[in-house]
């Protein structure tokens, strides 16, 4: 988890490192330099290029001597992203939005946000950054690297180290605790010993962070290719206990393997649901789950989506081999959330891969049956039937509960025999229904 602290501090290099910067970024730098404003590329794009492990999408930011007003005067297409803190968004020739930030130095900090002043050099700007691997700058016109804190060497050794005094860095902004764990996990770096000690010490102060900032960091971890590495560090550092005390059941190896196995687009919320199912028990109180998510400022839609997955559990409910029971369950899931079925599939698959092979086969059988129903276009809602309530009204049915009960009865008949979902078959069945009888049957089911 940690490595020792001996290293040689870096400096400026011109020839030993060659970084190819996107043409649109070079053009932005050139325009600022033509206006006599020193400008460097910074951020994850520089770090990953120095490391030789470029990732998509690349993260290229600019640090410049120009003030926000001067940046706006040079570029026509700009967006105020944080002008008070020196940041302007500038659209490049590739139509991407790039952050252009004035060189800064910290005046004061309170553990959440720093009060900054504009600085005159890239060295001052890099000195206020969190970790050495993020405190490098590349000049695409001069072909020069600025590395005053040894970030290049730390990358070569595979370690994450705070810039300067580690305790001070984490005291300045407690979010750096979470960022450090995320960087170490996502980049596969070992946390240097003094940095780790200071990080663990700073965990006690995480309570001052806003829920929104914590939420965003958690989602960034869960959106990575292998979240288990950062989550394991969360556990080791005491972050889960501090920020997510509701997970009294803990996050064990099965939870971490499940998180890694859950792939596909936008995996964050299904992964979060899987972790909650492991940490809060296999059938957690929905109100407790919702309260946790609301405390972290998740949106109402996100709360509903996660709760729908949690209600589906870590494995399919029993009885899904029965066509009628399976389709009833599918309809209920579809009503709870538009993504409930696909999210449940992903959690079930991932969890089954984390446990016994026998369970994996059973899960795959249940998922395959559901997918066959979806591919066949079997209706899950009365609105998807080949006749509507309007048709029944034209045939003498009256508006009211009996009409809804009749449509529900027709839907159940289609679940039993999907070939009945034709206009003629449905009309024939509807003509044979008794309004009072179907309503009584519907009321009895609800009871």
pLDDT (tens digit, 9 = 90+) per residue, 99-125?
999 999 877 576 667 667 889 999 999
In whole angstroms, how far apart are CA 396 and each of 96, 408, 434, 436, 443?
60, 18, 12, 14, 22
Percent of the chain scored above 70 by pLDDT? 91
Residue identified by tokens 């079997």 is: 378
For residue 353, what are its two tokens? 């891969």
Does pLDDT of 360 surpass 80?
Answer: no
**DSSP classification of residue 208:** G
Angle in degrees, CA 98, 123, 134, rounded to 5: 55
- Asked if residue 319 has pLDDT above 90, the reply is no
Q: What is the CATH number of domain 160-281?
A: 1.10.3090.10
What pLDDT score does 184 carry? Answer: 97
Tell me: pLDDT of 447 over 50: no
Cβ pair 31, 75 in contact under 8 A: yes
**pLDDT given at position 2:** 53
423 burial class (0-12, 13-18, 19+ CB within 10 angstroms)?
exposed
Correct CATH for 7-157 of 2.40.440.10, 3.30.460.10, 1.25.10.10, 3.40.50.300: 3.30.460.10
Q: Is the dihedral of CA 82, 214, 220, 189 positive or negative?
A: positive
Query: Considering the chain, what is the average pLDDT of its residues?
Result: 89
CB–CB of 381/332 below 8 Å?
no
3-state helix, strand, coil in the chain (%, to 5): 55, 10, 30
Domain boundaries, the chain: 7-157, 160-281, 382-446
Q: What is the pLDDT of residues 45-95, one digit of tens each?
A: 999 999 988 776 788 999 999 999 999 999 999 999 988 889 999 999 999
Question: What are the distances in angstroms from CA 163 to CA 133, 134, 148, 196?
Answer: 9, 9, 10, 13
- In whole angstroms, what is the distance from residue 128 CA to residue 135 CA? 8
DSSP 317: P
Calculate mean pLDDT across residues 410-416.
Answer: 94
**In the predicted model, what is the mean pLDDT of residues 328-338?**
83
Return the higher-pLDDT residue of 205 and 321. Answer: 205
């Amino acid at each position: 988890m940690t490595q020792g602290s001996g290293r040689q501090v870096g400096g400026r290099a011109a020839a030993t490192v060659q970084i190819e910067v996107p043409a649109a970024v070079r053009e932005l730098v050139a325009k600022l330099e033509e206006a006599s404003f020193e400008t460097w590329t910074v951020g994850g794009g520089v770090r990953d290029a120095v490391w030789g492990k470029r990732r998509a999408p690349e993260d290229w930011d600019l640090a410049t001597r120009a003030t926000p007003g001067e940046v706006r005067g040079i570029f026509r297409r700009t967006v105020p992203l944080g002008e008070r803190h020196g940041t302007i968004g500038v659209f490049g020739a590739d139509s991407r939005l790039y952050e252009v930030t004035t060189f800064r130095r910290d005046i004061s900090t309170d553990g959440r946000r720093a009060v900054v002043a504009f600085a005159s050099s890239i060295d001052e700007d890099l000195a206020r950054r969190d970790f050495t691997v993020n405190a490098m700058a590349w000049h695409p016109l001069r072909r020069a690297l600025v590395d005053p804190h040894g970030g290049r060497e730390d990358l070569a050794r595979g370690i994450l180290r705070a810039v300067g005094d580690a305790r001070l860095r984490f005291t300045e902004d407690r979010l750096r605790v979470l960022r450090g764990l995320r960087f170490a996990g996502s980049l596969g770096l070992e946390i240097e010993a003094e940095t780790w000690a200071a990080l663990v010490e700073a965990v006690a102060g995480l309570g001052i962070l806003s829920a929104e900032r914590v939420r965003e960091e958690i989602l960034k971890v869960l959106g990575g290719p292998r979240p288990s590495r950062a989550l394991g560090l969360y556990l080791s550092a005491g972050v889960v206990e501090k920020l997510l005390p509701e997970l009294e059941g803990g996050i064990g190896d099965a939870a971490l393997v499940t998180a890694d196995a859950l792939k596909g687009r936008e995996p964050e919320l299904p992964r979060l649901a899987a972790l909650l199912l492991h940490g809060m028990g296999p059938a957690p109180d929905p109100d407790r789950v919702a309260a946790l998510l609301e405390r972290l400022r998740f949106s109402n839609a996100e709360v509903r989506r996660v709760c729908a997955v949690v209600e589906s559990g870590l494995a399919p409910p029993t009885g899904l081999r029965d066509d009628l029971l399976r389709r009833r369950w599918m309809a209920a899931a579809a009503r709870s959330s538009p993504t409930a079925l696909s999210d449940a599939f992903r959690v079930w698959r991932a969890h089954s891969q984390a446990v016994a092979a026998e369970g994996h086969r059973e899960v795959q059988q249940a998922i395959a049956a559901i997918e066959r129903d979806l591919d066949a276009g079997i209706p899950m809602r009365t609105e998807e039937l080949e006749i509507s309530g309007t048709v029944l009204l034209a045939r003498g049915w009256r508006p009211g509960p009996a009409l809804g009960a009749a449509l529900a009865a027709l839907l159940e008949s289609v679940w039993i025999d999907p070939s009945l979902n034709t206009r003629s078959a449905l009309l024939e069945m509807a003509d044979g229904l008794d309004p009072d009888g179907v309503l009584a049957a519907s009321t009895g089911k609800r009871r």
